[in-house]
Amino acid sequence: MITTTPFLVLLLVAWGAVAIPVDQSNTRAIAQQDLFNTTLFPTYYRFAAISYTKDAKLVTAWNCPLCKDPSVADTRNATFTPSRDDGKEQGYIAVSPSLKTIVFAVDGSNTVEEWLNNLKIWKRDLSVRGCASGIEVHVGFWDVWTQLRPTMEPVLVKYLKAFPDYSVSFIGHSLGGAVTLLAAVDFVNRGVVPASRSTLVSFGQPRVGNVEFAQCISKLGFKQVARVVNKSDIVIHLPPWFLDYRHHYHEYWINKAGVLITNCNDNPNGKEADNCARTQDTKLSIPDHKSYFGIKNP
């Protein structure tokens, strides 16, 4: 499988042999640790995995195999939201009474190997109210979001009104994590939903933008933010650090022993943790990307 990975990944592996510089400039004290109930990660992950369901009717009727798991079985009002152009990307919006949240989920790429080969690294400018200028995000991820937006936004707007005391959880695996992150920032920026009502949860999410973007995620004041990584998941190392991409705070890492590490030393200023997934720079794994909490994705 590794033979299909492109030059970018090879570069990345070479880079991994170099010590990770630690950026300690301008490090603010972290006011408070996110109060994330980490026992809910497998539940959130089921919502992410359900977005891969090919048969729209199974999502709409909440009748897919994973939908029946007791942790998500009370979900209702599921609306399937494929992209308008080619329908290649898809998402859904639903309501979870037990979590008192509106679930906003987008699927990842179906073939990780293919995606790694096609990964474009170019960035575009993004201006976000309340954040510093100079934000740049991945062009390809932004394009996927703009294809889904016409289908997803009206449904979200309707649900925000219908469930006024519910939060919104932006949930995705892989590319889906990147796209839901951009969706959340776009909605907050345009005043569709306040950040304080929004939670971000991703699994095996690639890097999405530059350090200004990572800082902006912390500055917007989301209700909760979690970026969950399984062991040596290859995708979280892409696009590579040395092309000026940075992960946002806050990482949760499942280590080699399968233990969830909750004190990764990343911070809201865009410093990536050097005691969590980055310790795996030279041991990248596709299987670790595809399997989270006992659920395998295509």
Ligand X SMILES: *[C@@H]1O[C@H](CO)[C@@H](O)[C@H](O)[C@H]1NC(C)=O
Nearer to ligand X, 76 or 129 (CB): 76
Taking the complex as a whole, how short is the minimal distance between the CB of residue 259 and ligand X, in angstroms? 9
Residues in the chain: 298
Nearer to ligand X, 62 or 241 (CB): 62
Nearer to ligand X, 40 or 66 (CB): 40
Taking the complex as a whole, how short is the minimal distance between the CB of residue 127 and ligand X, in angstroms? 32
Nearer to ligand X, 79 or 218 (CB): 79
Residue with tokens 């200028």: 133
Taking the complex as a whole, how short is the minimal distance between the CB of residue 26 and ligand X, in angstroms? 33
Q: d(Cα 104, Cα 24) in Å, to the nearest integer?
A: 35
Taking the complex as a whole, how short is the minimal distance between the CB of residue 34 and ligand X, in angstroms? 13
Nearer to ligand X, 80 or 142 (CB): 80
Q: Angle CA(104)–CA(106)–CA(108) in degrees, nearest 5?
A: 155
Contacts made by residues 163-167, CB under 8 angstroms, sequence distance 24+: 163/95, 163/102, 165/100, 166/95, 166/100, 166/101, 166/102, 167/100, 167/101, 167/102, 167/197, 167/198, 167/199, 167/223
Taking the complex as a whole, how short is the minimal distance between the CB of residue 95 and ligand X, in angstroms? 7
Continuous segment of H or E residues that includes residue 296: strand 295-296
Helices (H), 22-129: 41-50, 56-60, 112-118
Q: What does the binding site for ligand X look like in residue numbers (CB under 6 A)?
A: 37, 39-40, 76-77, 158-159, 162, 230-231, 254, 258, 285, 287-288, 291-294
